[in-house]
Amino acid sequence: MVGRQRIFVRRRDGRIEVRLNDVGRSVAREAFGHVVAAERDPNHEWHVILNAPIDPSNDQDDPVATLNREHDTSTNAELAVMTLNDQFLNDAEAWAWLCTLQVALRSTAIANGLLSDEKLAACGPELLDYVRTLQAFLFELADCF
């Protein structure tokens, strides 16, 4: 899926080239889709994770702050979905990809109880492969910034 060459490459014109094949893009599509769905659906498994407390000492967070978080997370995820099949990303689009992939990675980890290195090492091969794939995407994309 990943191949030997790099997945994301910063070109001389400033754009970031996406070298994911169809399988790689389907993994990204699934991750982005879950984040979009989780923001919209209160029953989604990740919805609570995306609405973590800002100030745990308060019973309720500032509604403006939570609204901003919801808006920004949705905007990033929707931008990532819209550019999913693009061969080149600009900085804003690449940042949206990075944020959304990271949200998906951490939500996957929390939803599956992967809260320690030991738990991560002990999880099933399919889940571990998915986590490692998202980590590989993030690792290479971060290298472009």
Partner 1 sequence: MTLPLYDAGLPLRPAVCDTGVVGAVKPLQRTESDTEVITGDAVETRRPWNVVVWNDPVTPMSVVVVIFRKIFGYSNNKCTQLMMTVHHEGRCIVWSGERGRAQTYCVKLQVAGLQSTIEQEQ
Length of the chain: 145
Total chain residues near partner 1 (CB under 8 A) = 38
Three-state DSSP class for residue 18 = strand
Draw the binding track, 1-40, toward partner 1 (x: CB under 8 A; -: no contact).
----------------------------------------
Q: Are 76 and 69 in contact (CB under 8 A)?
A: no
Draw the binding track, 104-123, toward partner 1 (x: CB under 8 A; -: no contact).
xxx-xx----xxxx-xx---
> In this chain, which stretch among 11-19, 26-34, 51-59, 80-88 interacts with partner 1, using CB under 8 A?
51-59
| Element housing 19 (H / E) | none
Max Cα–Cα distance, the chain, nearest Å: 50
State the minimum distance, in angstroms, from the CB of residue 126 to partner 1.
16
Q: Are 127 and 112 in contact (CB under 8 A)?
A: yes
Burial status of residue 42 (CB atoms within 10 A of its CB: 0-12, 13-18, 19 or more):
exposed
State the minimum distance, in angstroms, from the CB of residue 98 to partner 1.
7
Binding site for partner 1 (CB under 8 A): 52-57, 62, 65, 68-69, 72-73, 76, 95, 98-106, 108-109, 114-117, 119-120, 131, 135, 138-139, 142-143, 145
